[in-house]
Amino acid sequence: MKFVVDTHSHTVSSGHAYSTVLENAKAAAENGLQLLCLTDHASSMPGAPHFWHFANQKVIPRFLHGVGILRGVEANIMNTAGQVDVLPKVEEHLDWVLASFHEPVFTPSTPDAHTEALLNVIKSGRVDALGHLGNPNFDFDFERVLAAAAEAKVLVEINNSSLSGSRIGSQPRCERIAEIGKEVGVKFTTGSDAHFAYDVGKFDSVMALFEKTKIDESAIVTTSASRFLGFLESRGRTPISEFQSLC
């Protein structure tokens, strides 16, 4: 099994990351990626860029260092109503919307509140994937949320950074998420959550988890560029024609 898409990466624009788009793309090429999603933090996160940053990603070439570049955002889940901090007029310019809980934006609450928020995010239809769900600060009803994600065809991310120590306690939770997700038919995505170019395309911990939980490659959209692009096209996002050379 090989991952050829990294669906979660940050640049200096996120405010607490340390590499540029070009540096991340170069690292992606060196690590054998075919596609890289740019997912700087949306504007509610401290230090994050103005929404113009996301709307203007059209100036970034579709290929850098031979790697296809997808214009995205890591949106913040704002409240139990499932609102995210991406304006609809900005979303029109994006290929990929990942949504996550972040402590500075959504103060950790009860499992019921987190579950309600995630279910409403899924129902909104505005989000392609849920990021780093293994965070123990945001416990939730795994069965309800994962079943809803599978039904709505919203991807569930397995986050390499979480498994490598950035969110202590994520490992057993991510294993359980993978196991339940497999039972209910979830499709998974893989994000390095790189905040420095060195980590782009690094998935050692994700690979070990998928092998341990015996997740079939066909359930992981990032094992094939055409599979990932087909997923985006099914959601009305990026036309495959822009990346025809990868299909």
**Binding site for Zn(2+): residue ranges?**
8, 10, 16, 41, 74, 102, 132, 193, 195
Q: Is the dihedral of CA 123, 129, 133, 137 positive or negative?
A: negative
Give me the helices (H) in the chain, please: 21-30, 52-55, 88-91, 111-124, 142-152, 160-161, 170-184, 204-213, 225-234
Residues flagged as binding site: 8, 10, 16, 41, 74, 102, 132, 193, 195
The two tokens of residue 167 are 């969110």
Are β-strands 129-130 and 67-76 bridged in parallel, bridged antiparallel, or unpaired? unpaired
* Nearest in space to 246 (alpha carbons), one of 3, 29, 4: 4
- Residues, the chain, total? 247
